[in-house]
């Protein structure tokens, strides 16, 4: 019930989001399907504003915190007063509606947008934290997400990952085979979608550079698969590979200098490293089996990849220093497309159980695997930079949608698109302001 | 490999073309395969051929050979190719089985080490201060060395040690490591300091993942700083195991031989002999 | 083999002509007659040869048509089991028909590998390629030059049957032969 209430509340917030200037076709709508059992009630009072504030700052923060599943924002209609400074707070009023925390703030737009916020503990009747974020006026939503990050970290101890972005691929199927593939960039809440690439041929495997300034992906626009990289600021593109056979699964090394990728030019799919400066190519695996879906450990010293050298796809680890390959996963007959959290411990992957494909977390330390999702055909997991949520693609009816689940499985939300199939989400690294 | 396969088979065929017996052998093999293929296809879509399969009195060999097309040598290569594909898949599956069994063995080894730790604890009475284990092992439960200059128990030391040790019992190995480290910081010259070093050594081996180097250092510390300590034979035996885990069989053998030589009556010597027999 | 009956006829004619010449004895009239007969025989022989050629061409065309029909009947899509790239016996038979036809031409073909939607996209990309390569390798060992065959994998990106369930999936796990 709280969920429906929250969704309704969110819908009003997100409608605003979709008035964003850069309208794109594959807009995402967020639906929270499962939150924690006892989310913390928090009141986010609409921020006072001077000048032309292009966004409802408090509304964005409220959406962020609600989406985390760990907070239960108070309905604006229930607020007895709308303070914007400490002097205006009557704690009694807030205790009466059962909120534990109170966030107030003010925004002022001149040459720059400046947001001041303050968080109060209602029961202890004292200030918890205050802060200020500033930036370009047209980045109002991003600034609001930065406020969310600060509040989230203060209250949960985990850095927030709201001021981040998503990449995803959407497909519109048209009669007569005139399909359109679009690579889209959006805020972490699905707002402000921008189409980076539109093609009649498949676009796949989008991935971020570690500094979030560029992306790499596979495009079939030449009639064959080729790996491209694209600068997000300038839009400049560079075709990195054009080999016979497969050109797939680009993965940026943590230092940003190397791209791991998959080529089959020498026979079967193997992992190669491409030095981005010298364009020198080094072959990493040599096996007649399929070796694909490389991903880097955060320390950059080893790679995880999928291989069916054991008859069925499983995750293996290649140590770049020793050159030794070890098998990582042993549970079940299908474990593929690993993505490692920044802690270097949690590995999100696609796991087949009783014929269905779920997202699971494999703990590299305990070597245990736990399944996070109960839907079928779940794929392409991508972990938030703070390691809290896993974004993935699944099917809702016959449509491809994005979904997210917390690494402990407690919180779930969906991001279905207004139209078309959405797939292959890639959560950005932290973006420096 | 897959690229090389056709060439390989062409060369193979050139060789086969010579000796007739080889060719015949190849032919037999292929026919069996062709039959199986036909059986498979007839099962999928019923054809007259099916009745031959059902009629056990019919000679299936002649029946299946009859419709063989003219281009026989290429058919043979084609079938060999299919055969190669299947073999490749089977090799991969076997590879997977080997990986899984190696993993199983590793798990079992770790478990047996854990079990040994448990056994060892009971044998040695855990070295916990008296009173902690309801007098189960009244004789062996005296901690630390016997003959050596024994440090006196410092205030609070016993409790801290017991607390750390309780974590070992509860199999909370990570926390136990932290607790023993903390214990050694507080009571570096405490009465139970050598025991703490010993337990750290043990714990590093059962942690996930194990840290044999840290274990080695802890056991060496015990030997270097507390010569003649009651835990010395056990530490020597453990060092033998640690070096084995680290892949140094020679060093492993050295320590195991030493415990057998220097403490022939100890239970550690017995374990060392057993270990040598099984692994070295 | 188709030439034999025609050649027989020609031989018979030639023999008849020779016999006539031999029997005719001497004399200009007879000589003329003999020459005439020889000329007739020559014409007949030429005609027969043309006829033979025509029949041979017809037979070849018929054979070609037969091969084409067989290839068409075999279809241009070959199906696979889940996570497998091993050619099924049906696929092998169908391919044999295409190979027989390809041997009579120097056409190039393109093999497109596909998978169903289950499993991960990039693994399926690789699996699609392995399927296309399996078909290519089978064609190559059966005598089709590898330079005539191009392969590409679309993984699960281009299904023919949308929707889930084995009925759809089995149609999507395929290699398509495109000319």
Q: What local confidence, expressed as pLDDT, does residue B35 receive? A: 43
**How long is chain A?**
433
Q: Please say if the pLDDT value at position B246 is more than 70.
A: yes
Residue A293 touches chain C, beta carbons under 8 Å? yes
Q: Which residue of B has its CA nearest to C87?
A: B82
CA–CA distance, B134 with B119 (Å, rounded to integer) = 18
C92 in contact with B at a CB cutoff of 8 Å? yes
Query: Which residues are CB-neighbours of A167 under 8 A, at least 6 positions away?
Result: A183, A184, A185, A196, A206, A207, A208, A215, A424, A425, A426, A428
**Backbone phi and psi for residue C178, each to the nearest 5 degrees, phi listed first:** -120, 135
Residues A263-305 pLDDT 10s: 999 989 999 999 999 999 999 999 999 999 999 999 999 999 9
| 253-312 of A, contacting B, C-beta below 8 A | 266-268, 288-289, 308-312
Q: A101-109 and A389-396 as β-strands: parallel, antiparallel, unpaired?
A: unpaired
Mean pLDDT of chain C: 85
**Residue C79: its pLDDT value, please?**
95
**Is the CB of residue B105 less than 8 Å away from at least one CB of chain A?**
no
Determine contact: A332 vs chain C, CB below 8 A.
no
Condensed to tens digits (0 to 9), the pLDDT of residues A75-86 reads: 999 999 999 999
Contact C151 A225 (CB under 8 A): no
pLDDT of A330 above 90:
yes
- Distance to chain A for C94, nearest Cα, Å: 25
- Helices B20-44 and B4-17 cross at an angle (nearest 10°) of 130
Distance CA B235, CA B86 (A): 52
pLDDT tens per residue across span C17-48: 555 555 555 557 778 888 888 899 899 999 99
The average pLDDT across B134-151 equals 40
* Contact criterion met (CB < 8 Å) for C129 and A246: yes
Which residues from C are below 8 Å from B44, CB to CB? 90
User: Mind listing the pLDDT tens digit for each residue in B167-202?
Assistant: 887 778 888 899 999 999 998 888 888 888 988 988
Residues in contact with A40: Cβ distance below 8 Å, sequence separation at least 6, in sequence order: A70, A71, A72, A100, A101, A155
**Chains adjacent to C (≥3 CB pairs closer than 8 angstroms):** A, B
Smallest Cβ distance to A312: which of B4, B96, B208? Answer: B96
Cross-chain Cβ contact A292/C118 below 8 Å: no
Name residue C174's beta-bridge partners: C79
Give chain B's mean pLDDT.
Answer: 69
Q: Are B238 and B210 in contact (CB under 8 A)?
A: no
pLDDT the model gives residue B208? 77
Beta pairing partners, C112: C152, C176
- What pLDDT was estimated at residue A416? 73
The alpha carbon of residue B148 and the mean position of all alpha carbons in its chain are separated, in whole angstroms, by: 39
Q: Which two tokens stand for residue C99?
A: 């190979």
Query: Which of A144, A153, A100, A106 is CA-nearest to residue A126?
Result: A100
The region of weakest confidence among A8-17, A141-150, B35-44 is: A8-17
Start-to-end C-alpha separation, chain C: 33
Residue with the larger pLDDT of the pair C11 and A223: A223
Distance (Å, whole) CA A148 – CA A153: 8
Q: Which residues of chain C does A312 touch, with a Cβ-Cβ cutoff of 8 Å?
A: 83
**Could you give the dihedral angle defined by the CA atoms of residues A259, A260, A261 and A267, in that order, rounded to the nearest 10 degrees?**
130
- The yes-or-no verdict on residue A255 having pLDDT over 50 is yes
Is B96 in contact with A330 (Cβ distance < 8 A)?
no
Report, as an integer, the average pLDDT of A361-389: 93
Domain boundaries, chain B: 90-130+139-206
Q: What is the pLDDT, as a whole number, of residue B199?
A: 87
> How many alpha carbons fall within 13 Å on the CB side of residue A112?
8
- The three-state secondary structure class of B140 is coil
Q: Which of B5, B77, B89 sits opposite C142 (nearest CB)?
A: B77
Chain A residues whose CB is inside 8 A of the C83 CB are: 308, 312-313, 334
Does B41 score more than 50 pLDDT? no
Q: What is the mean pLDDT of the segment spanning A3-14?
A: 36
Total residue length of chain B: 280
For residue C149, what pLDDT band results from cuts at 50, 70 and 90?
very high
Q: Given an 8 Å threshold on Cβ–Cβ distance, is B100 in contact with A289?
A: no
Q: What is the mean pLDDT of residues C7-17?
A: 55
When pLDDT is averaged across residues A124-133 and rounded to a whole number, the result is: 95
B16 in contact with chain C, both atoms CB, cutoff 8 A: no
Tokens of B47: 């054809």
- Cβ(A172)–Cβ(A425) below 8 Å: no
More confident residue, C29 or A255: A255
What does the alpha-carbon distance between residue A346 and residue B41 come to, in Å, rounded to a whole number? 46
CA of residue C15 relative to chain centroid, distance: 39
- Percent of chain C exceeding pLDDT 70 equals 85
* Environment class of A8 (CB within 10 Å of its CB; exposed 0-12, middle 13-18, buried 19+): exposed
- Among B2, B3, B95, beta carbon nearest to A311: B95
What is chain A's mean pLDDT, rounded?
A: 89
- CB distance from A424 to chain C under 8 Å? yes
Mean pLDDT of C69-88: 90
Q: Strand ranges (DSSP E) for A85-177?
A: 101-109, 113-121, 126-135, 165-172
- Note the Cα A5 to chain centre separation in Å: 24
- How many residue contacts between A and C have a Cβ separation below 8 Å? 84
With bands split at pLDDT 50, 70 and 90, how would you rate the model's confidence at C67? confident
Element (H, E) at A356: strand A356-363
Q: In this model, does residue C57 exceed pLDDT 50?
A: yes
Looking at A15-29, A141-155, A367-381, B92-106, which range is the least confident one?
A15-29
Please list the alpha-helical segments (H only) found in A97-200: 140-156
Helix (H, G, I), strand (E, B) or coil at A370: strand
- Per-residue pLDDT band for B119 (boundaries 50, 70, 90) equals low
Nearest chain A residue (CA) to B206: A366
- Tell me the pLDDT band of B68, cut-offs 50, 70 and 90: very low
Distance from the Cα of A379 to chain C's closest Cα (Å) equals 6
**CB-CB contact of A80 with A99 (8 Å):** no
Average pLDDT of the residues in A156-171? 94
Look at residue A134 and tell me whether its pLDDT is greater than 90: yes
Q: Please indicate whether, in this complex, the C-beta atoms of A264 and C120 are within 8 angstroms of each other.
A: no
Eight-class DSSP state of A417: B
Q: What is the mean pLDDT of residues A406-415?
A: 87
Q: How many CB atoms lie within 10 A of CB B135?
A: 9
The whole-number average pLDDT for the span A396-410 is 88
> Is a pLDDT exceeding 90 seen at residue C78?
yes
Q: Can you give the pLDDT at residue B16?
A: 35
Q: Which residues contact C30 (CB under 8 A, 6 or more apart)?
A: C24
| Under 8 Å between Cβ of A152 and A68 | yes
In terms of DSSP H, where are the helices of chain C?
3-23, 28-74, 89-102, 121-141, 166-172
Which comes out higher in pLDDT, residue B141 or A203?
A203
The strand pair at A101-109 and A113-121 is best described as antiparallel
pLDDT, residue C24, reads 52
Mean pLDDT, to the nearest integer, of C123-146?
Answer: 94
Q: What global pTM score does this model have?
A: 0.69
Compute φ and ψ for A130, nearest 5 degrees: -135, 160
> Given a cut of 60, is residue B57 above it in pLDDT?
no
Share of chain B above pLDDT 70, in %: 60
pLDDT for res C15: 57
Average pLDDT over residues B86-92: 92
3-class secondary-structure state, position C162 = coil
Chain B neighbors of C143, CB-CB under 8 A: 74
- Residue ranges of A 329-348 with Cβ closer than 8 A to chain B: 330
Give me the percent of chain C exceeding a pLDDT of 90: 54
pLDDT surpasses 80 at B153: no
Model confidence band, residue B126 (pLDDT cutoffs 50, 70, 90): very low
Residue A318 contacts C where some CB pair is shorter than 8 Å: no
Q: Reply yes or no on whether the pLDDT at A11 is more than 90.
A: no
Average pLDDT over residues B78-107: 91
Nearest-CA distance from C103 to chain B in Å?
Answer: 12
Q: A13 or A330: whose pLDDT is higher?
A: A330
User: Residue C104 region, left (φ>0) first, then alpha (ψ -120 to 50), else beta?
Assistant: alpha
Euclidean distance between CA atoms A303 and B9, whole angstroms: 35
Residue A135 makes CB contacts below 8 A (sequence gap 6+) with A112, A113, A142, A143, A433
Q: Is B139 on the interface with C (CB under 8 A)?
A: no
The dihedrals phi and psi of A64, each to the nearest 5 degrees, come to -60, -50
Task: Name the β-bridge partners of A34.
Answer: A412
Residue A233 φ/ψ, nearest 5 degrees: -75, -50
Residue B60 has pLDDT above 50, yes or no: no
Question: Would you say how long chain C is, in residues?
Answer: 179
């Amino acid at each position: 019930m709280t969920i429906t209430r929250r969704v309704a509340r969110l819908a009003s917030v997100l409608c605003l989001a979709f008035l964003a200037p850069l309208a794109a076709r594959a807009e995402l709508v967020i639906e929270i399907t499962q939150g924690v059992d006892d989310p913390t009630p928090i009141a986010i009072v609409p921020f006072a504003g001077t000048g032309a504030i292009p966004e409802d700052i408090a509304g964005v923060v409220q959406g962020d915190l609600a989406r985390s599943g760990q907070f239960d924002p108070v309905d604006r209609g229930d607020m007895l007063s709308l303070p914007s400074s400490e002097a205006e707070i009557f704690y009694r009023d807030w205790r009466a509606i059962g909120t534990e925390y109170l966030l107030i703030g003010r925004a002022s737009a001149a040459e720059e947008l400046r947001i001041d916020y303050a968080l109060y503990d209602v029961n202890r009747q004292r200030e918890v934290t205050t802060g200020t974020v500033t930036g370009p006026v047209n980045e109002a939503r991003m600034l609001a997400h930065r406020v969310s990050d600060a509040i989230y970290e203060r209250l949960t101890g985990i850095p927030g990952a709201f001021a981040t972005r998503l990449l995803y691929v959407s497909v519109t199927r048209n009669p007569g085979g005139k399909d359109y593939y679009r690579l889209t960039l959006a805020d972490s809440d699905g707002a402000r979608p921008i189409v980076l690439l539109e093609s009649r041929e498949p676009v796949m495997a989008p991935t971020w550079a570690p500094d979030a300034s560029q992306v790499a992906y596979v495009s079939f626009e030449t009639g064959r698969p080729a790996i491209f990289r694209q600068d997000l600021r300038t839009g400049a593109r560079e075709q990195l590979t054009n080999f016979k056979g497969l050109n797939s699964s680009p993965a940026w090394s943590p230092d940003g200098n190397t791209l791991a990728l998959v080529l089959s030019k020498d026979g079967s799919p193997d992992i190669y490293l491409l030095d981005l400066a010298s364009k020198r190519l080094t072959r990493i695996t040599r096996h007649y089996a399929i070796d694909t879906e490389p991903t880097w450990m955060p320390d950059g010293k080893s790679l995880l990849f999928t291989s069916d050298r054991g008859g069925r796809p499983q995750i293996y680890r290649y140590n770049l220093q020793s050159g030794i390959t070890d098998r990582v996963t042993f549970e079940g007959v299908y474990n593929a497309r690993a993505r490692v959290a920044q802690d270097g411990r949690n590995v999100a992957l696609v796991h087949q159980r009783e014929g269905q494909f779920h997202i699971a977390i494999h703990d590299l330390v305990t070597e245990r695997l736990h399944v996070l999702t109960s839907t079928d055909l779940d794929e392409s997991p991508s972990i938030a930079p703070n390691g809290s949520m896993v974004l993935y693609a699944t099917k809702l009816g016959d449509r491809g949608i994005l979904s997210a689940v917390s690494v402990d499985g407690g919180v779930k939300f969906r991001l279905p698109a207004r139209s078309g199939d959405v797939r292959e989400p890639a959560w950005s690294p932290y973006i420096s302001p | 490999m897959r690229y090389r396969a056709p060439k390989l088979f062409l060369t193979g065929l050139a060789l086969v073309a010579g000796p007739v017996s080889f060719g015949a052998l190849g032919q037999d093999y292929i026919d069996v395969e062709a039959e199986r293929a036909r059986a498979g296809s007839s099962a999928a879509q019923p054809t007259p051929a099916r009745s031959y399969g059902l009629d056990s009195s019919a000679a299936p060999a002649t029946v299946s050979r009859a419709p063989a097309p003219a281009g026989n040598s290429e058919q043979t290569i084609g079938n060999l190719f299919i055969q190669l594909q299947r073999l490749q898949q089977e090799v991969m599956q076997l590879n997977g089985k080997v990986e899984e069994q190696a993993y199983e063995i590793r798990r079992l080894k770790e478990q047996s080490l854990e079990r040994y730790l448990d056994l060892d604890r009971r044998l040695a009475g855990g070295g916990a201060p008296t009173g902690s284990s309801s007098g189960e092992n009244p004789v062996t439960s005296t901690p630390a060395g016997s003959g050596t200059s024994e440090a006196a128990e410092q205030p609070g030391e016993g409790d801290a040690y017991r607390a750390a040790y309780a974590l070992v019992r509860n199999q909370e190995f990570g926390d136990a490591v932290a607790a023993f480290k903390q214990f050694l910081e507080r009571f570096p010259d405490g009465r139970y300091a050598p025991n703490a070093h010993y337990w750290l050594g043990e714990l590093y081996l059962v942690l996930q993942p194990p840290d044999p180097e840290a274990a080695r250092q802890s056991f060496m510390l015990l030997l270097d700083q507390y010569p003649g300590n009651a835990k010395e034979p056990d530490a020597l035996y453990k060092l033998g195991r640690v070096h084995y885990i680290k892949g140094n069989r020679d060093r492993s053998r050295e320590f195991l031989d030493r415990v057998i030589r220097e403490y022939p009556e100890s239970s550690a010597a017995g374990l060392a002999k057993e270990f040598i027999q099984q692994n070295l | 083999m188709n030439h034999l009956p025609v050649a027989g006829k020609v031989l018979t004619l030639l023999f008849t002509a020779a016999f006539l010449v031999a029997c005719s004895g001497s004399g200009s009239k007879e000589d003329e007659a003999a020459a005439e007969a020889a000329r007739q025989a020559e014409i007949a022989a030429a005609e027969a040869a043309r006829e033979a050629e025509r029949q041979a061409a017809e037979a070849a065309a018929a054979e070609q048509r037969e091969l084409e029909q067989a290839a068409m009947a075999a279809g241009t899509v070959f199906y696979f089991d889940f996570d497998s790239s091993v050619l099924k016996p049906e696929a092998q038979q169908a391919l044999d028909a295409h190979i027989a036809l390809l041997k009579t031409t120097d056409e190039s073909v393109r093999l497109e590998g596909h998978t169903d939607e289950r499993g991960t996209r990039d693994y399926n990309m690789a699996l699609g390629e392995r399927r296309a390569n399996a078909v290519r390798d089978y064609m190559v060992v059966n005598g089709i030059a590898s330079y005539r065959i191009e392969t590409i994998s679309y993984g699960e990106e281009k299904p023919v049957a949308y929707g889930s369930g084995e009925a759809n999936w089995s149609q999507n796990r395929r290699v398509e032969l495109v000319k």
